[in-house]
A and B are shown apart, each in its own frame.
Chain A
Amino acid sequence: DSGVTQTPKHLITATGQRVTLRCSPRSGDLSVYWYQQSLDQGLQFLIQYYNGEERAKGNILERFSAQQFPDLHSELNLSSLELGDSALYFCASSYMEGFNNEQFFGPGTRLTVL
């Protein structure tokens, strides 16, 4: 158990809908990352927050947005869902924001878009 929690574990929804994925980092960690794992794209970095501020952005679609709240939990919002958004979404956390920090991953949220 990494100490990172993600809810829900599974999510099934329809195309065009909007969903919110939630992540609580390990106690004391200030940085949160979101990754998407799909069969065709592999594991891809989406976005990073550090202490409430956006720090880095990857190939995150405009339909996706995220934020980190004052209590450090983070939410990833996915809207106008398409079939291709079906994937495993991971949240990770680290104490600091630097490139040298190991990231600890949550169990993931499996999103299925029908």
Chain B
Amino acid sequence: AQKVTQAQTEISVVEKEDVTLDCVYETRDTTYYLFWYKQPPSGELVFLIRRNSFDEQNEISGRYSWNFQKSTSSFNFTITASQVVDSAVYFCALSEAKETSGSRLTFGEGTQLTVNP
């Protein structure tokens, strides 16, 4: 069965520090998608990125970057020069291409990131 692990429950940094959020996944499928979502204090879930299992290129979007490594089943998320507004819970999620699983997202436990001024 699929599983996503975010071992870091809480991370606290000072503004302008770089921070990496770890995500490790388990799946027997060769075809799958990985996602990151942000949940700010207001509670909604905000989509950040989607990555398919055949594309191991790292991606950068502004201060955000993602490192996907199939060899270690990891999909880590780095925020460069963190800001107070980055404070949120971040979720990593997995979606497999199995017919029986539909297109459900399996979420990790989430990492609470606090950026202090």
A residues with a Cβ closer than 8 A to B are: 2, 31, 33, 35, 42-45, 48, 55-56, 58, 88, 90, 92, 94, 97-108, 110
B residues with a Cβ closer than 8 A to A are: 32-33, 35, 37, 42-47, 50, 52, 91, 95-98, 100-110
Q: Are A103 and B52 in contact (CB under 8 A)?
A: no
Pairs of residues from A and B, 8 with the lowest C-beta to C-beta distance, nearest first: A56-B102, A105-B45, A43-B107, A45-B104, A99-B103, A99-B95, A55-B102, A48-B102
Q: Are B47 and A102 in contact (CB under 8 A)?
A: yes
How distant is A68 from chain B, measured CB to nearest CB, in Å? 13
Q: Are B103 and A48 in contact (CB under 8 A)?
A: yes
> Which residues of A have CB within 8 Å of B102?
48, 55-56, 97, 99
Complex: A7 Cα to B111 Cα, angstroms: 28
Complex: A2 Cα to B107 Cα, angstroms: 19
Given contacts A42-B110, A43-B110, A107-B44, contact A102 B103 (CB under 8 A): no
Q: Are A108 and B43 in contact (CB under 8 A)?
A: yes
Q: Are B44 and A56 in contact (CB under 8 A)?
A: no
Complex: A87 Cα to B50 Cα, angstroms: 26
Complex: A74 Cα to B42 Cα, angstroms: 23
Residue of B nearest to A46 (CB): B104
Interface-centre pick from A33, A56, A99, A102 (highest chain B CB count, 10 A): A99
How distant is B55 from chain A, measured CB to nearest CB, in Å? 11
Residue of A nearest to B94 (CB): A99
> Which residues of B have CB within 8 Å of A107?
42-44
Q: Are B50 and A102 in contact (CB under 8 A)?
A: yes
Which one of B33, B46, B107 contacts A100 once the chains associate, using CB atoms below 8 Å?
A: B33
> Which residues of B have CB within 8 Å of A33?
103-105
Give 24 CB contacts A-B under 8 Å: A2-B47, A42-B107, A42-B109, A42-B110, A43-B91, A43-B105, A43-B107, A48-B102, A56-B102, A56-B104, A58-B104, A90-B45, A99-B98, A99-B102, A99-B103, A100-B103, A101-B103, A102-B47, A105-B44, A105-B47, A107-B42, A107-B43, A107-B44, A108-B44
